[in-house]
Amino acid sequence: MIKKVAFKGIWPAMFTPVEKSGEPAYDELAKLVELLINQQVDGLYILGSTGQGILFTEDQRKKIAAMVCRLAAGRVPVMVQVGALTTEVSVRLAKHAAEAGARAISSVGPIYYSGSAESSLKHYHQIARATNLPFFPYQLGSHTIPGNIESFIDQLLEIPNVQGMKLTTTQLLEISAIHNYAKERLLLFSGCDELFCHARLCGTVGAIGSFYNLWAEDCKQVMDAFTGGNYHLAQAYMLALQKAVNQVLPNIWTFFRKAMLLKYQIDIGNAKAPLGNTNEDWQDEQVMEILDQVASVAATASRPA
């Protein structure tokens, strides 16, 4: 059984498979949970942007969280993203996550009505004090930490149960600024998949990302190898992953669906509109070429530095 969570390593920001009706596809969700656990991921991050959490009803989110926590119990920790349109709903989702067996919660800031760091901090405070779970605020770009970083961190650390942050930013200097000031008081996760090795140099303990649904095992091996000193593998893999990300971004949702089907026979369904409205379909050969490009580099992960 899991006694104490080691918040580090590779945590897939899990897809939430969707039926044609828009309902969660629970059978496919169960298959995805088993796949990722068998790949020895360090944790599961659910109902974030990739998991389309904000687009499901409160009841659906609770059912998804309960199912994932039940399947993962005693095997890997689950962090539930509880951000919602209102703080009240976020608090209810946080309490449910604790009851369901989650090992941590996370939340975006106020979506429409943030306006200031003070507003975000009050939102976080109410969510964090609703349970005794470790709390990881979700920083999305520079607008979530407006103004002075040091002042924001000081106030953030006054919130009960705050243990770290999920930093979805390409600004490595911002990550290092947060780490240099907070030091070990905040455990930082990179939310930019294609920079997980770069971010490690800036003080992160791990990474949470969408592409780890596809390449969790490879990314875990590469991160471990890089931490152990294998610079050349890390460079080669980062370049291959960045090339793939650039290729798929314009039609990312349809790529993910096709790639998961071809690689793992798991159908995550179409994104819930308006997500993916303009995405074009991919040919099997196009997706396989990208998968093979990344796999060919990852195959070197077991070789010595």
Output the six-digit token pair for 275. Answer: 């997500």
The number of angstroms, rounded, from the C-alpha of 45 to the middle of its chain's C-alpha atoms is: 5
Beta bridge partners of 272: none
Q: Is residue 238 part of a domain?
A: no
- List phi, psi (to 5°) of 153: -65, -40
Output the six-digit token pair for 118. Answer: 């003070």
The CATH code of the domain that includes 195 is: 3.20.20.70
Strand order in 187-190's β-sheet? Answer: 9-12, 206-209, 187-190, 164-168, 135-140, 104-107, 78-81, 44-46
Following CA atoms 187, 191, 197, 201 in sequence, which dihedral angle do they give, to the nearest 10 degrees? Answer: -40
Output the six-digit token pair for 278. Answer: 């303009």
Q: Is residue 262 part of a domain?
A: no
Output the six-digit token pair for 208. Answer: 């949470």
Q: Is residue 156 part of a domain?
A: yes
Q: Is residue 291 part of a domain?
A: no
Distance CA 294, CA 291 (A): 5
Distance CA 232, CA 189 (A): 23
Output the six-digit token pair for 195. Answer: 């920079």
Show pLDDT as tens, one digit a residue, over the chain (305 residues): 445 778 999 999 999 999 999 999 999 999 999 999 999 999 999 999 999 999 999 999 999 999 999 999 999 999 999 999 899 999 999 999 999 999 999 998 776 665 567 788 889 999 999 999 999 998 755 545 656 889 889 999 999 999 999 999 999 999 999 999 999 999 999 999 999 999 999 999 999 999 999 999 999 999 999 999 999 999 999 999 999 999 999 999 999 999 999 999 999 999 988 888 899 999 999 999 999 999 989 887 555 54
Distances (CA, A) of 12 to 33, 39, 46, 185: 10, 11, 8, 23
Q: Is residue 143 part of a domain?
A: yes
Distances (CA, A) of 79 to 45, 48, 82, 285, 297: 5, 10, 9, 35, 30
Q: Is residue 233 part of a domain?
A: no
Q: Is residue 77 part of a domain?
A: yes
**Structure pTM?**
0.94
Residue range(s) defining the domain that contains residue 42: 9-221
Total structural domains in the chain? 1
Q: Is residue 42 part of a domain?
A: yes
